[in-house]
Amino acid sequence: MEDTELDSSELGTHSYWQKAYTKEIANFDDHGDTGDVWFGEDSADRVINWICDSGIEKDTAIIDLGCGNGYTLTELAKEGFTNLLGVDYCVEAITLAEKVSKTEFPFIDYKLFDITKTTVSSLGKKFGLVHDKGTYDAISLNPDNAKEHRQKYIQQVADMLSEQGLFVITSCNWTEEEIMNHFSEKFILKKVLPTPQFKFGGKVGSVVSSVVFVKK
């Protein structure tokens, strides 16, 4: 059975994120506030801890799709990872991330990249780990043909991932089952990361879903 699409939202528009990150740049410049972490730091830290415990080499090429303020990459840098690239389709996000990380972690690279439009070859290499926390969600909320954009995203991730590479995705809009269904054509499930659960009406669910895949 095919999943229905999500209702569109301003969270799926470029203009929303431009405004949000313009405000966060001003806040950082004014008083050093690095901005919000999408889904909260606890959600991000669970994934970061798993990556650190996964056994991948510290020089593995890692790309963060929709890097925002760069929180995931700076935390990985603190753990000794050295080959880090953050991409975002919003230049204001790249500006903020560079401001936040340039003093302590100048080796983290950032690049303007729209996964639904820009060719993967422009990134210049394959990646041993692709991370996404919220970008697939935002694409799914786009009022302009979200399904087509989701399918392009899935193909692009497969194209940028090296053989035996890991793809780690966190979503608050799709369930674990839906994510596994969406990516099943090109990816194999490796692990579902435990996330906080809630119980409502006799059913148990998760606030967010974090899933790890390897490429077929």
Write the pLDDT tens digit of every residue in 3-30: 678 777 787 788 888 898 889 989 889 8
Assess whether pLDDT exceeds 70 at residue 205.
no
**Which one-letter amino acid corresponds to residue 33?**
D
158 has a pLDDT exceeding 80: yes
Predicted local confidence at residue 42, as pLDDT: 83
Determine the average pLDDT of the residues in 109-129.
Answer: 96
Question: Residue 91 has which token pair?
Answer: 């230049």
- pLDDT, residue 1, reads 44
Residues with Cβ within 8 Å of residue 170, at least 6 apart in sequence: 39, 43, 44, 47, 132, 133, 134, 208, 209, 210, 211
Q: For residue 33, what pLDDT is reported? A: 80
Domains of the chain and any CATH numbers: 10-215 (3.40.50.150)
pLDDT for 140 equals 94
pLDDT per residue over 53-95, tens digit each? 999 999 999 999 999 999 999 999 999 999 999 999 999 999 9
